[in-house]
Amino acid sequence: MLKNLSQCKIPHKHLPSLMDYSKDDIISILSAANILKNNPPVSASTTLSGRTLAMIFSKSSTRTRVSFEQGVKALGGSAIFLSTNDIQLGRGETIHDTAKTLSRYVHGIMIRTHAQSDVDELSKHSSVPVINGLTDDYHPCQALADYLTVYEKFGKFDGIKLAYIGDGNNVAHSLMIAGAKLGVEVVVICPKGHEPNAAITAKTKSMGNVTVTSDIDNAIKGCHVVYTDVMFSMGQTVTDAKKAALMPYQVNSALMNKAHKDAIFMHCLPAHRDEEVTGEVIDGPQSVVFDQAENRMWAQIGVMWHLMK
């Protein structure tokens, strides 16, 4: 299913989410990521020579910052870290002015922030590519890394069933979007009141095989991928009520035994052991969480190869 590097092309300038990306676009990114990881041409190390990525962070991160910095470096470029505490965007300068200014200095912008509208506005006014590093609604780079990992483990997307278990958050949204387009059956299993965004769910259901349910026992059957995330996303208020609702959806050995016999466990990290997942699962033989973490860099290399070269 993956392509040769010469076939990898996408018509997009920005990556605000994967909603407007086609199956072919996503395959192009994953193909480039796979090739640049495993069999890179000699020219890959100079693809972004002389080019700079500005990285705007209003949310802290380990994987996003390091994977983007190392990724752009692997392509011969450089990165500038910009905390909103250090730039004028955090002091009231408009996104319009920030986009116009940075476009005169750099060749691409990655932003990790709260509001999706900030990414959309930045994309609207920037003359250089804008990449969504995470918002409260979407996490496209994580989903690309996740499906790259799925392909590495199973060699296909057709016939794969992925169960996301827990809070219906930004990661769930992007897994639903990309999975629907790739032909993966995606089941989101969560307690009532903690479902994914209804409008995003409706769109993904129109694109592919997506189900949202609270029925763990039936939905987990035959799943090749069991995926979870933290109960409380960054910035969310921790409440006893939400934790109590989500604890029955903890991924543990008993749950993994209900999935496909060759199932893998995935988590976007950071993880809270013995909350959303037990230590025996995340540190066990079915876990591929650090393969996912590494593939954040390779998936983002695939994105930057397409958008910034």
Place 131 in a pLDDT band, splitting at 50, 70 and 90.
very high
Which uninterrupted H or E stretch holds 308?
helix 289-308
Which uninterrupted H or E stretch holds 185?
strand 185-189
Q: Is 104 a catalytic residue?
A: no
Active-site choice (14, 112, 194, 306): 112
Decide: 154 and 160 in contact? Cβ < 8 Å: yes
Q: Is 286 a catalytic residue?
A: no
Active-site choice (63, 107, 142, 224): 142
Q: How far apart are CA 19 and CA 57, in angstroms?
A: 23
Q: Is 142 a catalytic residue?
A: yes
Which of the 8 DSSP states describes residue 287? B
Helix (H, G, I), strand (E, B) or coil at 176: helix
pLDDT single digits (tens) 178-187: 999 999 999 9
Q: Is 112 a catalytic residue?
A: yes
Indicate the residue type of 69: E
Q: Is 63 a catalytic residue?
A: no
Active-site choice (268, 292, 300, 306): 268
Instruction: Look at residue 267 in the predicted model and tell me its pLDDT.
Output: 98
Q: Is 190 a catalytic residue?
A: no
pLDDT single digits (tens) 193-240: 999 999 999 999 999 999 999 999 999 999 999 999 999 987 788 899
Nearest of 116, 129, 141 to residue 63 by alpha carbon = 141
Instruction: Look at residue 86 in the predicted model and tell me its pLDDT.
Output: 85
Active-site choice (14, 224, 296, 306): 296
Instruction: Please state the rounded mean pLDDT for residues 40-52.
Output: 97
Decide: 148 and 205 in contact? Cβ < 8 Å: no
Active-site choice (25, 118, 137, 229): 229
In the chain, % of residues over pLDDT 70 = 100
Map out the domains of the chain with their CATH numbers: 5-139+294-308 (3.40.50.1370), 142-288 (3.40.50.1370)
pLDDT single digits (tens) 101-126: 999 999 999 999 999 999 999 999 99
Across the chain, mean pLDDT equals: 97
Active-site choice (139, 173, 194, 267): 139
Decide: 47 and 76 in contact? Cβ < 8 Å: yes
Residue with tokens 């590495």: 152
What pTM does this model have? 0.97
